[in-house]
Amino acid sequence: MANIINLNDFLNNRKEYKNEIEETLNILDEFQLHLFTSAINLAVADKWKDWSDKMPNGSTFNFEDSMLFDTGDQNVTRIMELRDSVINLMRQLENIQD
């Protein structure tokens, strides 16, 4: 006896699945940005405090990942490692989505 597969259900489920992946990717993207900001804030509050205090108010600076991995603060490094893991997960989920 053959099973009957309703293709409409399959397509709807696939669409729901893709939507869920997309929503998860958005959440992960916000989270990795939050982790990056947290790492900067921790570095500026401790290891980079002297540098930060010398910066004029309103000045801008572009931080790079490598700089944050090189602060010497294990907490900053751990946060950056977690961020890298989140970014890798996002790449994997993006590949699944197709």
Q: What is the domain partition of the chain in residue ranges?
A: 26-51+62-98
Q: What's the full length of the chain, in residues?
A: 98
Sort 42 into a burial class: Cβ within 10 Å, 0-12 / 13-18 / 19+: middle
- Taking the model in full, what pTM does it have? 0.81
- Per-residue pLDDT in tens (0 to 9) along the chain, 98 residues: 566 666 566 667 888 888 899 999 999 999 999 999 999 999 999 999 999 888 899 889 899 999 999 999 999 999 999 999 999 999 999 987 55
> How many other CB atoms are there within 10 angstroms of residue 28's CB atom?
15
